[in-house]
Amino acid sequence: MKKTILAGLLAAILILFFGEGCSTSTPTRSGGITAEELQIVAEAAVKDVLTSPKLDSYLNEYRTEHGADAVPVLKLAKTRNDTDDPDLDTTLLTDMLFNALSNSGKVEVTLAEGEMRVKSIPDSRDNSSDSDFDQDTVAQSGTLRAADLVFRPKVTSSKVREGRKQVVIRTFVLEMADIRTGLLVWSFSKQLGQMKERQAIGL
């Protein structure tokens, strides 16, 4: 009975991920997720966030409070890799998202906070102690702008096995939240399916 249920579940997952006309997932090879597959996720997420009514609503409220031309600042939180692949690199995914968001004019991406923080920013601000610099041009204390939004990417995985066949499912979850209120401004998820088959001993 248990084997029959498991076989049925496996068949349902195979139809979901590899069935005809499915556009929510992509089959992968027996290795890890490729750059092409990460690009598929990124392109879908970009399209979703740039047309999100909930994000547009947040932006309208933000402009009402801060001015018609005000643009919120966005920072990247550390990507959580909750898969069994410690080498999974999501850099391409986040780079595409932030490039699209920056170019959209909807947000400004900060390099002074979060995972995207670069050491050159605080180092450059140390010029205030160097007499060779014109002090009228040196960044003053209190001029760094704090982020209004935080962006958190996460990747999880799950498996279903039947005999020598196994389906590995990677789920990408992307969330954007208002730092002041903690409320979710935008979220997106997409799954990639991967079928593996163990070779029989001696073959």
Q: Which domains does the chain have, with CATH numbers?
A: 2-18+28-123+143-197 (3.40.50)
Query: Which of 56-70, 74-88, 132-146 shows the lowest mean pLDDT across its residues?
Result: 132-146
Return the pLDDT at 42. Answer: 84
**Contact (Cβ atoms closer than 8 angstroms) between residue 99 and residue 116:** no
Q: pTM, whole model, 2 decimals?
A: 0.69
DSSP state of 190: E
133 vs 127: CA distance, rounded Å: 7
The structure tokens listed for 5 are 């249920």
Return the pLDDT at 175. Answer: 93
What's the pLDDT tens digit per position in 68-85? Answer: 999 999 988 777 888 878
Q: Where are the alpha helices (DSSP H) in 28-130?
A: 35-50, 53-66, 91-104, 120-125
Average of per-residue pLDDT across 147-167:
84
Give the rounded distance of the alpha carbon of 23 from its chain centre: 19
170 vs 156: CA distance, rounded Å: 6
What's the pLDDT tens digit per position in 158-197? Answer: 888 777 777 888 899 999 999 999 999 999 999 887 766 6
Place of tokens 């010029």: 127
93 vs 98: CA distance, rounded Å: 9
